[in-house]
Amino acid sequence: MKRLLIFFSLSLFLVFHVKGEGQDDVLKRLTEARQIAKKSGHLIMLDFETEWCGFCKEMDKKTLPSDEVKEYMSSNIILVKVDAESDSGRFLAMKYRVSGYPTFVFVDDKLRVFGGSFGYQEPADFVKTLQEMRDNQAKGKFFTAISSTLKLPFPDFYQKRFNKNGKRVFAKQEVVNQWLAKRKTYDDEVTFSVMAMHEIPDKQLQYVIANQKRLKSMYGPENVNAIFSRAVEKQYRALLEKPLPLLKKWLPSLRQYNFPEADRMQNWYLRNYLLHNRQWEEYFNELSQAVENKSVTPTEINATGWDFYEKEEDLEVCKNMLPFMETICANNRDYNFWDTYAALLLKCGNSELGKEWANRAIQLGKSLEIDISGSEKLLERYP
């Protein structure tokens, strides 16, 4: 049985959220939301989720029900849940080029898109996202080429990307290339969507580079940057086994894409090249500079530390990573960081300090009510 939840305050509509069996009544719910948005002036938030998405459940459990989020949404946002694997949800996911979950797309009653957001966010951060979207609406900053047509004539290979999990089909590169070669323009919504979701040939890439400012205003910077990111990854993979001078010659070319924090991106690719090729002295020098310049995230350091714990056989190399892990653990109360540091210490033979940090991680994990079995297994492995 369907349930319609509508909350009113002083006769003003605050939050709209319908859940139906299978959630395949999304188009009907969106129509109802648009009618209410037309009267209230509120933004509609399309919340794309799937049944198997863990971070979607975390958003539903922690972020959306929080007092600060509910308070802001009550007078600004109309929430429409979208099961991205339902029949109607798939078409919406295709239209808005949804590639991961949760994804939030913000539209008004005319289906003008004012922005989007991807991934789990803590309540305070999510309120900032909502405020930014409302600010875009107030300034009339919407993406000019995203139409109000919900079901677009996408090619079959594009549609298959949006099949249910486990049944998705990703087109071969030659299929995409042949389809794009027949297009007369790259600006229309269908063609741009295909380019935003696939690796594209150099001809189309050069077009996007030359027209990036206009395309960003038409479809949003995130979609244009997605095209650039795939191109950069392809170029980087081709250089991974090449001499270092060739990589350094390539790095300045990243500026043509106008990525946010382009310098940080160049340094990231350099560090990963050095890491991949086991050029340890250069790698740790670059990492030290990045820490000093605050151009490397604790998450990247932690991920590298964990890779060393799992894969690196040279204990001297692992020991060189310990000071970096010590720094991020001293400055961050994070279970994953503490667990990684403990694992690396134990692997390097520092049993006493390793057990101390493993126990710290366990206590922290218990206080946060998260899984601590990894740290417990560490103590079993290194008694």
Position 205 scores a pLDDT of 97
3-state secondary structure of 344: helix
> Which range is least confidently modeled, 18-32, 244-258, 295-309?
18-32
**In sequence order, what DSSP letters do the residues of 231-262 get, joined into one string?**
HHHHHHHHHTTS-HHHHHHHGGGGGGGT-TTH
Q: Give tens-digit pLDDT for 101-110.
A: 999 999 999 9
**Using CA atoms, how far apart are residues 152 and 137, in angstroms rounded to an integer?**
25
Q: Please give the residue that has the higher pLDDT: either 290 or 20.
A: 290
Distance of alpha carbon 112 from its chain centroid, rounded? 22
- Considering only the C-alpha atoms of the chain, give the largest distance between any 2 of them, rounded to a whole number of Å: 69
Q: How many CB atoms lie within 10 A of CB 325?
A: 26
Structure tokens at 167: 């049944």
- Is 279 exposed, middle or buried, given 0-12, 13-18 or 19+ CB atoms closer than 10 A? middle
Contact 108, 44 (CB under 8 A): yes
Binning pLDDT at 50, 70 and 90, where does residue 369 land?
confident
**Using CA atoms, how far apart are residues 1 and 19, in angstroms rounded to an integer?**
9
Position 343 scores a pLDDT of 97
As a 3-state breakdown, the chain gives helix, strand, coil percent values, each rounded to 5, of 60, 10, 30
Q: Give tens-digit pLDDT for 147-172.
A: 999 999 999 999 999 998 889 999 99
Position 22 scores a pLDDT of 43
Contact 308, 302 (CB under 8 A): no
> Which range is least confidently modeled, 14-18, 46-50, 286-290, 354-358?
14-18
- Look up 318 and say whether it is catalytic: no
- The position carrying tokens 């390793």 is 354
Binning pLDDT at 50, 70 and 90, where does residue 14 land?
very low
For residue 333, what is the DSSP state? -
**Using CA atoms, how far apart are residues 21 and 27, in angstroms rounded to an integer?**
14
Residue 17 has pLDDT above 70, yes or no: no
Position 68 scores a pLDDT of 96
pLDDT, the chain, mean: 92
- Is 129 exposed, middle or buried, given 0-12, 13-18 or 19+ CB atoms closer than 10 A? middle
Residue 9 has pLDDT above 90, yes or no: no
Position 24 scores a pLDDT of 56
Backbone angles phi, psi at 97, to 5 degrees: 55, 50
> Which range is least confidently modeled, 11-25, 57-71, 142-156, 168-182?
11-25
**Using CA atoms, how far apart are residues 45 and 109, in angstroms rounded to an integer?**
11
26, 28, 29, 33: CA torsion to nearest 10 = 130
Residue 132 has pLDDT above 50, yes or no: yes
Q: Please give the residue that has the higher pLDDT: either 147 or 369.
A: 147
**In sequence order, what DSSP letters do the residues of 11-78 get, joined into one string?**
TEEEEEEEE-GGG--HHHHHHHHHHHHHHH-PEEEEEEE-TT-HHHHHIIIIITTSHHHHHHHHTTEE
**Using CA atoms, how far apart are residues 347 and 343, in angstroms rounded to an integer?**
6
Q: Which residues fall within 8 angstroms of residue 275, CB to CB, at 6 or more apart?
A: 283, 304
pTM of the model: 0.81
Position 165 scores a pLDDT of 84
Position 383 scores a pLDDT of 84
Position 92 scores a pLDDT of 96
**Using CA atoms, how far apart are residues 154 and 221, in angstroms rounded to an integer?**
22
DSSP alpha helices (H): ranges in 75-161?
Answer: 87-95, 123-139, 156-160
